[in-house]
Structure 1
Amino acid sequence: MSVQVNGPSSSHHVSPPSGAVRPRLAFLGCGYLGTTYAVCFAELGYDVVGMDVNAEKVAKLAAGDLPIHEPGLEALLRRNLDSGRLRFTTSYEDIAEFADVHFICVGTPQRPDSDAADLSQVETCVTDLAPHLRRKALILGKSTVPVGTAEWVETLVQRHAPPEAGVEVAWSPEFLQEGFAVEDVLRPNRVVFGVKSDWARDMLYAVHKGVFELAAVEDREVPVVVGDFATAELVKVAANAFLATKISFINAMADLCEATGGDVTLLARAIGYDDRIGPKFLRAGVGFGGGCLPKDIRAFVARAEELGVGDSLRFLHEVDRVNARRRTKVVQMVAEMCGRTSGPNGPDLSGLRVAILGVTFKANSDDVRDSPALSVARKLMRAGAVVTAYDPEGMIPAKNVVPDAAYAKSVNEALAGADLVCVLTAWEEFRHADPAALAELVSHRRIIDGTNSVDPTLWTGAGWTYRGMGRPSI
């Protein structure tokens, strides 16, 4: 295990097997992860091919049409398509002939029958690629996987790739934050390599040379942690588990604050000044969602149980449960604010008109996977409420997930005639909305701030009854 800054302390030059000046890169899986990395590495000056079996997705990307919302990425996509450094394909034969390094960027969703990760997409791309490799290459895992996956991938390569090709495997986890992913690739706060050979290590330094060069120009440091397969795999899931725990902790404190009259925002600020704790991820709200944290912590626990150390991660079950309860909490708050009674099956919200602001799991994204906001919308509708939602970017995917809700084209349209407003995603548009103007649109001036992101003083000053998460009712 070693830690270095901006690449190796001495020269570790390696010639790419293709004979190119820089390694040629292929990214298998053009979803959020693969597309972002492919575009950004082309921007760093590498020749890149993105590969996906979905021909429609590949055609859109090749035409410069970005199928996801990520600030700054579409402009980089079009620029690098125009430069010729970036292209897309559906052919395994194409990338096998072209690339020196093949990044595995496919999905690892939760299995339908358990909490464990489904690695079928990883297996498919490795077994479909390996037989076509005719020269030395590096298969590099980026997908978030259970510990032990890299060793398994290595056995798949040994079984399916021509032995004379000398194909090797390495793992380098991704740390993308949706809404900030371009910066996270171009200017990472660390890079982790899990390798078994000097050649694989040196290829990874060559692959990241553009990252180090940009850091040197900007007088920044990029720590590089070089270790084994297992450590590299554990870094991402351990980080996600820690962040999820921190979020659920402050949400548990929010419940305690509500029971005692405390204010969780002041509590979070006070404990965040402690350097051992820090202020990030201490905002109480409706909990975490998205395509990573929920399924990753469940898969982490499932893998620990397989390894016989499940007791060590049992606390993550409660982290998950605290998170799930936040969604039910919002429904309870709606009933309390509107004077609705609860029966054995929960509150009766029949006919109540609720406006939901935000449907994505976080701001600056169109991702609605495991969105707390959409979970709340479903629960409200099951209780009889009439829900109208608005989001700056997530409307189309939300309609596919929750088609029974009504969807507005603007904040004003969503609030028209509403009995109560729920802010469930912390978009800047909502934070800077004019509460006095919006007060003229609703039937009743009630707001639940599920993100603790709007200013309660401004809203109460405009005549609204305000309730945040873990904050005194105003």
Structure 2
Amino acid sequence: MRITVIGTGYLGATHAACLAEIGFEVLGIDTDAAKVAALNAGVLPFHEPDLPGLLRKHTESGRLRFSTSMEEAANFADVHFLAVGTPQSGHAGRADMSQIDGAFRSLLGQISHDALIIGKSTVPVGTARRLASMARKLGPTGAEIQVAWNPEFLREGYAVQDTLRPDRLVFGTDQPGPLGVLRSVYAQAIAAGTPVVETDFETAELVKVAANAFLATKISFINAFSEITETAGGDISTLADAIGMDARIGRRFLNAGLGFGGGCLPKDIRALQARTQELGLDLTMDFLSAVDQVNLRRRDKVVELVEQTLGGSDISAKVAVLGASFKPESDDVRDSPALDVAARLDGLGYEVCVYDPIAQESARRRCPQLEYPDTMEEAVAGAEMVLLLTEWQQFRTLQPADLDSLVSGRRILDGRNVLDAATWLDAGWQLMQLGRKTEPVTELATSATAANGVLA
């Protein structure tokens, strides 16, 4: 079977390379000629572990190549995966469907024989049925264009693993024909025991946004309790451990801290709210507004803590920000909490130096006004305060001695609650972690080894 993947961003490039790894001949299509040239040269334009090797392997073997020609795509294969973006538009959080619609129409205009178009993008419910209707109206005379929806569930940093060994496969169709093709495409994963859900268009579309809405809610839930423990007292990590022991709740995604970001969760919960309102269900997803607001307030809290801590210092004090990507093992800075905090501190007049092991260039393009030293040591040199905002492994394992001789002020805000409090307090540092009640600095000496001795 020959397959095309239309759209070669994070999702499409990963899917194309993994399909080639499974054994298919694959053609990736994109309107960006520079990106296509880079991919054909085996160069990945973003960071994703394990993917560069697959890309080089299969572009060299000839099993995978890329093009800007939709005509070539239509002639190359009968099975087409649609993996273009659905970014947030400027209209009440709605998903911008222009790329989906444009790619779909362009492909329909070139197809001359029976074909199956499989959507992988995250879309508002009702999109697949609308596109299937469009295919019937605009498809070539005498040919049958079928549509299916197969949502992606990739985690940045684990995308190859999640594609080759998914935890579930969802096939949404309005007729049985596409199911055989989908089962053939994913035969390897199905043989390995991956469960398959065969359903209608609407359920398939909603599975992805429901999963993201639930995860966002779980993160904001523990961060809402973090606001309580910061004020009333208590340890948010211990609280999360305790409720996470309940099998109905589980411990994953119950990590209090700076909150979520990236290109999926924020836009998907806003698009879901917008779509339910279009359906006349004005109150159904109202709670997601609170989820969004709790998440954004964590960024406010970090900025507030910096201002409080450096209140007696010159407003131009140097602040070192460790981390720019929205999560470790990614160079994605879309809606990154870390980069947002850095930019806001810069706007307040602080000298902000940002260091990220991978996302320096992505961050520089997004926020060129900030400083981006080449090393962590340069970033923290002379800093009055250090902010750990993305939990890269090299930051998680930091010890006070790593920074003692470099900084001007021994103050660190752990925005991901990954540092051992006692270690830093015993070394004489002023430590702040989200979800723990603020104690006066003068009490640090007597409570250095106690969990309640951690600031904020």
Instruction: Give TM-score scaled by structure 1 length.
Output: 0.91
From 423, 431, 438, the equivalent of 1:466 is 431
Query: Residue in 1 aligned with 2:66?
Result: 88
Query: Residue in 1 aligned with 2:417?
Result: 452
Distance in structure 1 (CA, Å) of the matches to 2:142 and 2:189: 32
Query: Residue in 1 aligned with 2:198?
Result: 226
From 232, 235, 248, the equivalent of 1:263 is 235
- Measured against aligned partners, the alpha-carbon deviations of 1:312-350 in whole angstroms (never above 9, x if no partner) come to 11000000111111111101111222235xxxxxxx972
- Does structure 1 conserve the Cα–Cα contact (< 8 Å) formed by 2:116 and 2:146? yes
- Measured against aligned partners, the alpha-carbon deviations of 1:172-202 in whole angstroms (never above 9, x if no partner) come to 1000000010100000000000012221111
- Measured against aligned partners, the alpha-carbon deviations of 1:353-387 in whole angstroms (never above 9, x if no partner) come to 10000000000000000000111012111221110
Query: Residue in 2 aligned with 1:320?
Result: 292
- Corresponding position: 1:176 with 2:178: no
- Does structure 2 conserve the Cα–Cα contact (< 8 Å) formed by 1:257 and 1:470? yes
Closer/same/farther in 2, CA of residues 315 and 200 from structure 1, 3 Å limit: same
- Corresponding position: 1:383 with 2:353: no
In the alignment, structure 1 segments of 5+ residues that lack a partner are: 1-22, 216-220, 341-347
Q: 1:19-168 to 2 correspondence within 5 Å?
A: 23-168=1-146
Query: Residue in 2 aligned with 1:197?
Result: 175
Query: Residue in 2 aligned with 1:431?
Result: 396
Distance in structure 2 (CA, Å) of the matches to 1:434 and 1:102: 50
Distance in structure 2 (CA, Å) of the matches to 1:383 and 1:316: 30
From 217, 238, 243, the equivalent of 2:210 is 238
- The DSSP-based 3-state class of the residue aligned with 1:406 is coil
What amino acid does structure 2 have at the position aligned with 1:468? Q
Closer/same/farther in 2, CA of residues 153 and 439 from structure 1, 3 Å limit: same
Distance in structure 2 (CA, Å) of the matches to 1:240 and 1:468: 26
Distance in structure 2 (CA, Å) of the matches to 1:75 and 1:349: 48
> Structure 1 residues 61-70 or 431-440, which shifts more?
431-440
- Measured against aligned partners, the alpha-carbon deviations of 1:159-184 in whole angstroms (never above 9, x if no partner) come to 32203110100001000000010100
- Corresponding position: 1:310 with 2:291: no
- Does structure 1 conserve the Cα–Cα contact (< 8 Å) formed by 2:84 and 2:100? yes
Instruction: Return the offset for 1:158.
Output: 2.0
Distance in structure 1 (CA, Å) of the matches to 2:150 and 2:116: 12
Query: Residue in 1 aligned with 2:443?
Result: none
- Does structure 2 conserve the Cα–Cα contact (< 8 Å) formed by 1:251 and 1:287? yes
What amino acid does structure 2 have at the position aligned with 1:302? A
Two-structure CA RMSD over aligned residues (Å) = 1.2
Instruction: Return the offset for 1:156.
Output: 2.1
Q: 1:206-217 to 2 correspondence within 5 Å?
A: 206-213=184-191, 215=192
- Does structure 2 conserve the Cα–Cα contact (< 8 Å) formed by 1:349 and 1:383? no
What amino acid does structure 2 have at the position aligned with 1:249? F
- Does structure 2 conserve the Cα–Cα contact (< 8 Å) formed by 1:357 and 1:422? yes
Distance in structure 2 (CA, Å) of the matches to 1:43 and 1:138: 21
Query: Residue in 1 aligned with 2:359?
Result: 394
Instruction: Give TM-score scaled by structure 2 length.
Output: 0.94
- Does structure 1 conserve the Cα–Cα contact (< 8 Å) formed by 2:303 and 2:345? yes
What amino acid does structure 2 have at the position aligned with 1:361? F
- Does structure 1 conserve the Cα–Cα contact (< 8 Å) formed by 2:190 and 2:196? no
**Percent sequence identity over aligned pairs:** 52
- Corresponding position: 1:272 with 2:249: no
Instruction: Return the offset for 1:92.
Output: 0.6
- The DSSP-based 3-state class of the residue aligned with 2:398 is coil
- Does structure 2 conserve the Cα–Cα contact (< 8 Å) formed by 1:349 and 1:384? no
- Measured against aligned partners, the alpha-carbon deviations of 1:78-103 in whole angstroms (never above 9, x if no partner) come to 11112221111111111111112111
Query: Residue in 2 aligned with 1:7?
Result: none
- Corresponding position: 1:283 with 2:261: no
Q: 1:292-311 to 2 correspondence within 5 Å?
A: 292-311=264-283
Distance in structure 1 (CA, Å) of the matches to 2:194 and 2:212: 20
- Does structure 2 conserve the Cα–Cα contact (< 8 Å) formed by 1:423 and 1:451? yes
Instruction: Return the offset for 1:113.
Output: 3.0
Distance in structure 2 (CA, Å) of the matches to 1:115 and 1:432: 38
Distance in structure 2 (CA, Å) of the matches to 1:381 and 1:86: 44
From 390, 408, 411, the equivalent of 2:373 is 408
In the alignment, structure 2 segments of 5+ residues that lack a partner are: 437-451
> Structure 1 residues 223-232 or 375-384, which shifts more?
375-384
> Structure 1 residues 381-390 or 224-233, which shifts more?
381-390
- Does structure 2 conserve the Cα–Cα contact (< 8 Å) formed by 1:366 and 1:393? yes
Query: Residue in 1 aligned with 2:441?
Result: none
Q: 1:294-373 to 2 correspondence within 5 Å?
A: 294-340=266-312, 350-373=315-338
Distance in structure 2 (CA, Å) of the matches to 1:364 and 1:83: 27
- Does structure 1 conserve the Cα–Cα contact (< 8 Å) formed by 2:128 and 2:149? yes
Query: Runs (4+) of structure 1 moved beyond 3 Å?
Result: none
- The DSSP-based 3-state class of the residue aligned with 2:196 is strand
